[in-house]
């Protein structure tokens, strides 16, 4: 989806990459990434992720998709236009990296916990005002996407890949995890 189309249609800033609230947070995050990835077991896992997805991330490859309204209670969702093979890279969850604020974040639908490698951090990726199509991907208990992490050039990224073959017309979904729905109405089956 073109930047201009995304911004005009949704009134949001398009971000192809992660942004930082300020330079101090950027430095803290990068220092933490460097420290965390010193662990050998994370390095091994990251080599796998890198061998699978690095090219697509660097080239900003985008699979063909459509964003359309799903249901009055759900809003928009993202749908496949073409067949998506197993293990295809779908995209990176982009937004603003800032410190977690539990009070505010519980009513923000577009906050994704920012992990560095497999470890949770005190930061989140906030896509409420800026991001890309991944902010429109809905939740399912039986999702066709899996989210994971990859560290490239010293920075951790949250990415999505197809966990099975996805057919044209299918809605793309991932599992938001147990905490997301604790203070919200239970999710609908998708």
Ligand X SMILES: C[S@@+](CC[C@H](N)C(=O)[O-])C[C@H]1O[C@@H](n2cnc3c(N)ncnc32)[C@H](O)[C@@H]1O
| Footprint of ligand X (CB under 6 A) | 73-77, 109-110, 135-136, 138-140, 187-188, 190
Of 109, 92, 101, which Cα lies nearest the Cα of 184?
A: 109
Q: Which is nearer to ligand X, 41 or 69 (CB)?
A: 69
The DSSP annotation for 38-76 comes to TSHHHHHHHHHHHHHHHHHHHTT----EEEEEEETTTEE
Q: Which is nearer to ligand X, 23 or 73 (CB)?
A: 73
Q: Which is nearer to ligand X, 75 or 154 (CB)?
A: 75
Instruction: For residue 180, give Cα distances in angstroms to 103, 106, 108, 109, 138.
Output: 13, 8, 10, 9, 12
Task: Report which residue's Cβ sits closest to ligand X.
Answer: 75
Give the nearest distance from C-beta 80 to ligand X in angstroms: 16
| DSSP symbol at 178 | T
Give the nearest distance from C-beta 55 to ligand X in angstroms: 27
Encoded tokens for 173: 């979904």
Give the nearest distance from C-beta 77 to ligand X in angstroms: 6
Q: Which is nearer to ligand X, 123 or 136 (CB)?
A: 136
Give the nearest distance from C-beta 2 to ligand X in angstroms: 19
């Amino acid at each position: 989806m073109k930047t201009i189309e995304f911004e005009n249609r949704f009134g949001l800033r398009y971000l192809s990459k992660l942004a930082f609230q300020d330079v101090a947070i950027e430095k803290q995050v990068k220092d933490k990434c460097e420290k965390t990835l010193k662990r050998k077991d994370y390095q091994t896992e990251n080599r796998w992720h890198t061998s699978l997805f690095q090219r697509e991330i660097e080239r900003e490859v985008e699979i063909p998709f459509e964003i359309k309204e799903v249901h009055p209670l759900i809003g928009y969702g993202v749908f496949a236009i073409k067949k998506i093979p197993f293990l295809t890279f779908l995209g990176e969850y982009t937004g603003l990296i800032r410190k977690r604020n539990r009070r505010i974040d519980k009513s923000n639908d577009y906050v994704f916990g920012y992990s560095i490698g497999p470890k949770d951090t005190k930061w989140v990726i906030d896509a409420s005002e800026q991001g890309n199509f991944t902010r429109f991907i809905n939740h399912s208990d039986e999702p066709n996407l899996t989210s994971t992490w990859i560290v490239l050039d010293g920075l951790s990224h949250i990415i999505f890949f197809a966990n099975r073959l996805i057919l044209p017309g299918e809605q793309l979904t991932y599992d938001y995890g147990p905490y997301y729905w604790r203070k919200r109405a239970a999710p609908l089956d998708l």
